[in-house]
């Protein structure tokens, strides 16, 4: 079931740069004129040419000259016939012009606008590939220049050795058009040239586990109170700030796994060019059981709640109930489905390792998501919950804190990704040690963090596919790359950490044109000082961040 998902999401990505052409034909466009009696006449408006005005002018002159209508009899017959013929021709021309306007002339053109008699703004035409990408482009997008990155040490995200002395050309649509030895690409007129002086150039980084609408809370009750007080507008605005912090940190794509319906507003504002931020795949509300990890009303007196959360907020029970919850998140624009297969650390009253969704419910969720060509990401700490989720057919295990050899073997066999979130494990463990968590959460954090590190090492050594995911939102956005340093500290090679944040993560997301720097891929890249293959932490301070060929950060 992964192929249709990959295709759908790849087209979503490609559609994100739609409408880069001018919205209307320029005024001096030769198409904006017509030839009549061997001369080129300016077109006054669609379907109306200068000769159109000649008939009434001619009639007016004749009337002025000959006075009253009865005097028209003195007009020579051949001149009267000429006037009538010209008038008839004009009627025929007008009908033809209206027909051309209605059907769109020159339908063989590559663009729906090219050569059309009546120019239509491209925003109204769209790409036909996806609904969400048809949003209006900004003026900046309309005037995006080509970009030449000169003198790169290229780490292309494929796992190959770095190549020095490379130039990359990104075209005006944000696609990589050429990668050649330095100085050999003809620089197109008007292209912006950035000489990176031999620094390392990598694909824009990918974080497969974020919560852009969330920020760290001092405690679980504080998180719940904030959640209950805020509206979707508050969350969307916070998400806008966090999206910029994430992009500035070099992450050009994220998978937002568990938020609210404001996810869609944020994703679409970024696609539409109204906000700077990473390309987002969204899950909307995570799906879980009543009283489970995803139920933010746990331990709150129901008298204080306006309502118990239901399928609209991802809380559902039984196979039919969870199917309805999946359908609702997809109806509201979800690109993937996130489930809570087990308890969690920061939620109250649930064992961190306890299975929550039943195998039957998990199978129903995966089936429903696959029908809609969506992947499923499963939050899972305990071993039984992980196994249930893997057997149900989820595409990734998030956290995966308690893995054993049989489970790891099963994940490898089925191609299930692990998104280990090792850095947040350490953050929460330190918060517990400093007395910042509730006694319940502190106990769970201290118990689970060492197991999470061991499980990551077991999975990595066993060859399970690993995608980078930070859980940013539990810690400040912008610190996303610390996950890479943590994985390297636990034994992963810097090269594999880079793969986890580039081509491997792109594979999990099902986006076929990001995660590598190669011709035809999106123009997403970062430039860092130093060699990330020697010191992975240099990725925490990118000097240049480019997404879809547009420069967002330039500090060199």
- Indicate which residues carry an active-site annotation: 338, 471
The window from 267-275, 404-412, 471-479, 485-493 that contacts Zn ion (CB under 5 A) reads 471-479
Minimum CB separation of residue 342 from Zn ion in Å reads 13
Minimum CB separation of residue 435 from Zn ion in Å reads 23
List CB contacts of 207: < 8 A, sequence separation 6 or more.
Answer: 246, 251, 253, 254, 255, 278, 468, 469, 470, 472, 480, 483, 501, 505
> Do 526 and 513 meet the contact criterion of CB atoms below 8 Å apart?
no
Minimum CB separation of residue 255 from Zn ion in Å reads 11
Residue closer to Zn ion by CB (options 273, 344) is: 344
DSSP helix/strand/coil, 176: strand
Compute the distance between CA of residue 51 and CA of residue 300 in angstroms, rounded to an integer.
78
Residue closer to Zn ion by CB (options 15, 469) is: 469
Examine residue 471 and tell whether it contacts Zn ion (CB under 5 A): yes
> Do 172 and 548 meet the contact criterion of CB atoms below 8 Å apart?
no
Examine residue 215 and tell whether it contacts Zn ion (CB under 5 A): no
Compute the distance between CA of residue 212 and CA of residue 237 in angstroms, rounded to an integer.
10
Q: From residue 430 to residue 469, what is the string marking binding to Zn ion with x (rule CB under 5 A)?
A: ----------------------------------------
246-284 CB burial, b ≥16 within 10 A, e <16: bbbbbbbbbbbbbbbbbbbbbbbbbbbbebbbbbbbbbb
Q: Which residue's structure tokens are 């990890």?
A: 293
Residue closer to Zn ion by CB (options 295, 471) is: 471
The window from 11-19, 145-153, 162-170, 470-478 that contacts Zn ion (CB under 5 A) reads 470-478
Residue closer to Zn ion by CB (options 169, 254) is: 254
Q: What is the size of the binding site for Zn ion (CB under 5 A)?
A: 1
Residue closer to Zn ion by CB (options 167, 471) is: 471
Residue closer to Zn ion by CB (options 209, 323) is: 209
Percent helix, strand and coil across the chain, each to the nearest 5: 40, 20, 40
> Alpha carbon of 218 to those of 11, 69, 215, 225: distances in Å?
40, 92, 10, 11
What angle, 0 to 180 degrees and rounded to 10, lies between the N-to-C axes of helices 54-66 and 77-103? 160
Residue closer to Zn ion by CB (options 264, 379) is: 379
Minimum CB separation of residue 211 from Zn ion in Å reads 6
Minimum CB separation of residue 288 from Zn ion in Å reads 12
Residue closer to Zn ion by CB (options 211, 279) is: 211
- Strands 525-528 and 544-547: what pairing? antiparallel
Minimum CB separation of residue 209 from Zn ion in Å reads 6
What is the DSSP secondary structure assignment for residue 550, as one 8-state letter?
A: E
- Closest to 526 (Cα-Cα) out of 513, 544, 538, 514: 544
Q: From residue 131 to residue 170, what is the string marking binding to Zn ion with x (rule CB under 5 A)?
A: ----------------------------------------
Minimum CB separation of residue 235 from Zn ion in Å reads 16
Of all residues in the shown chain, the one whose CB is closest to Zn ion is: 471
For the chain, the first-to-last Cα distance in angstroms comes to 44
> Do 547 and 220 meet the contact criterion of CB atoms below 8 Å apart?
no
Minimum CB separation of residue 212 from Zn ion in Å reads 11
> Alpha carbon of 402 to those of 238, 351, 380, 463: distances in Å?
33, 13, 9, 17
Compute the distance between CA of residue 325 and CA of residue 313 in angstroms, rounded to an integer.
8
Q: From residue 57 to residue 96, what is the string marking binding to Zn ion with x (rule CB under 5 A)?
A: ----------------------------------------
Give the footprint of Zn ion on this chain (CB under 5 A). Answer: 471
């Amino acid at each position: 079931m992964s192929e249709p998902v990959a295709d759908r999401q790849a087209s979503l990505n490609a559609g994100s740069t739609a409408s880069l052409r001018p919205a209307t034909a320029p005024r001096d466009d030769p198409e904006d004129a017509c030839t009549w009696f061997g001369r080129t006449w300016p077109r006054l408006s669609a379907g109306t040419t200068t000769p159109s005005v000649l008939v009434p002018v001619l009639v007016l002159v004749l009337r002025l000259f000959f006075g009253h209508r009865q005097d028209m009899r003195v007009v020579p017959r051949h001149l009267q016939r000429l006037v009538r013929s010209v008038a008839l021709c004009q009627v025929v021309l007008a009908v033809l012009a209206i027909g051309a306007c209605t059907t769109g002339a020159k339908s063989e053109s590559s663009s729906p606008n090219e050569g059309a008699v009546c120019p239509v703004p491209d925003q109204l035409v769209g790409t036909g590939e996806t609904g969400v990408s048809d949003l209006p482009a900004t003026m900046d997008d309309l005037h995006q220049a080509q970009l030449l990155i000169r003198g790169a040490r290229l780490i292309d995200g494929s796992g190959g050795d770095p190549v020095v002395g490379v130039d990359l050309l990104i075209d005006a649509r944000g696609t990589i058009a050429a990668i050649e030895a330095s100085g050999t690409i003809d620089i197109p007129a008007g292209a912006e040239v950035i000489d990176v002086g031999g620094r390392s150039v990598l694909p824009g980084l990918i974080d497969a586990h974020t919560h852009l609408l969330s920020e760290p809370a001092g405690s679980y009750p504080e998180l719940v109170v904030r959640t209950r007080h805020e509206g979707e507008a508050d969350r969307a605005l916070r998400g806008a700030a966090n999206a910029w912090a994430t992009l500035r940190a070099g992450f050009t794509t994220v998978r937002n796994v568990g938020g609210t319906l404001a996810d869609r507003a944020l994703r679409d504002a970024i696609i539409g060019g109204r906000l700077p931020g990473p390309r987002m795949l969204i899950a909307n509300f995570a799906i879980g059981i009543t009283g489970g990890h995803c139920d933010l009303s746990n331990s709150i007196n129901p008298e204080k709640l306006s309502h118990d959360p239901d399928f609209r907020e991802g809380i559902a029970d039984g196979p039919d109930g969870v199917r309805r919850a999946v359908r609702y998140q997809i109806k509201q624009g979800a690109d993937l489905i996130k489930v809570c297969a087990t308890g969690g650390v920061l939620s109250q009253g649930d064992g961190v390792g306890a299975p929550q969704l039943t195998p039957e419910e998990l199978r129903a969720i995966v089936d429903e998501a696959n029908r809609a060509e969506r992947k499923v990401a499963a939050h899972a700490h305990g071993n039984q919950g992980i196994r249930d989720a893997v057997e149900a057919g989820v595409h990734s295990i998030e956290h995966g804190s308690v893995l054993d050899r049989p489970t790891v073997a099963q994940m490898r066999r089925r191609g299930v990704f692990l998104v280990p979130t090792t850095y947040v494990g350490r953050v929460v463990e330190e918060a517990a040690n400093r007395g910042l968590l509730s006694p319940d959460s502190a106990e769970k954090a201290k118990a689970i963090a060492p197991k999470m590190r061991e499980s990551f090492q077991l999975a990595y050594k066993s060859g399970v596919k690993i995608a980078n995911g930070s859980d940013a939102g539990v810690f400040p956005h912008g610190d996303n790359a610390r996950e890479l340093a943590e994985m390297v500290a636990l034994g992963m090679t810097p090269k594999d950490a880079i793969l986890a944040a580039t081509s491997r993560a792109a594979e999990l997301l099902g986006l076929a044109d990001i995660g590598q720097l190669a011709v035809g891929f999106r123009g997403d890249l970062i430039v860092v000082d130093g060699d990330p293959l020697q010191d992975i932490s240099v990725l925490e301070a990118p000097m240049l961040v480019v997404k879809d060929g547009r420069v967002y950060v330039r500090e060199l």
